[in-house]
Amino acid sequence: MFIDIHTHAFHPKIAHKAVDHLNSFYNVACAGDGTIDHLLAREKHAGLDKCVVLCAATAPAQVIPANNYAVSLQNSHPEVIGFGTLHPGYASWQAELARIKAAGLRGIKLHPDFQGFWLNDERLLPIFEAAQEDFIFEIHIGDATRPENNPSCPYKLAHILDTFPRLRIIAAHLGGYRMWEHALKALGGRQRDNLWFDTSSSTPFVTPELLKTLFAVFPRERLLFGTDWPLYDPEEELERLQRMAGLSEDELEAVMSNATELFALQEKGLG
């Protein structure tokens, strides 16, 4: 099964506004309109079977509505795997973990830079401890700044991975958006059984040489295809990833299907 592990879709009432914000914040022209219908049409056109739709509550009060929307998308569309969200400022996080588990959500998205906390915030520790058996965490890592000035740098992630060896984490953007040299230092050269990487928002910014290095250093079976849609289009991302990384058709299809094994491990309670 081919899976896009990193996408976003917004309620139709706010999709246009959300895309305008992304265009302004990242100085890009989004490939998608932000709606679930457009996302699923583009995924189907690119030959992908399922997509993980992520959300991140930028304030504690948004946790419940964001998770309700993730559940509704998953229930309404068989192609969607919903990931919920938490915020360290949300007091009733234990009850919310139980609620979203019962609702069938498979993972939790954290975006410290957007959500207004740091990845080494001690309030996250009991959340990780409680959630590690039931959820996969997709965590945004990196920014165009120095690691010590960034809420989500690869070094902070490495500490979490070592502290919680059973906590399954997908490091977004090949381990560190605009911080790939630090990602290689902090996350490369060592096999971590609890770490995966997605390819989203990387190919527009790395050189082919750096991308090939990342693919050589990070375990191939731990690389997951992701687009960051609506920022980038699935078909265009597949073509660019294959061309820049020098992947054969079989190698590209392996990256597109690696997430299937991650979800299988989750179901078995292993990995």
For 117-140, the pLDDT digits (tens) are 999 999 999 999 999 999 999 999
Average of per-residue pLDDT values in the chain: 96
Structure confidence at residue 271 (pLDDT)? 46
Question: Full-prediction pTM beyond 0.85?
Answer: yes
Structure confidence at residue 14 (pLDDT)? 93
- What 3-state DSSP class applies to 137? strand
Measured between alpha carbons, how far is residue 4 from residues 7, 51, 56, 117 in Å?
7, 5, 18, 27
Express as a percent the part of the chain with pLDDT over 70: 99
* Cα distance between residue 130 and residue 163, in whole Å: 13
Give the single-character DSSP code of 214: H
At CA 111, angle to CA 113 and CA 40, rounded to 5? 130
Give the single-character DSSP code of 229: B
Mean pLDDT of the region 2-11 = 97
Is residue 267 predicted with pLDDT exceeding 90?
A: no
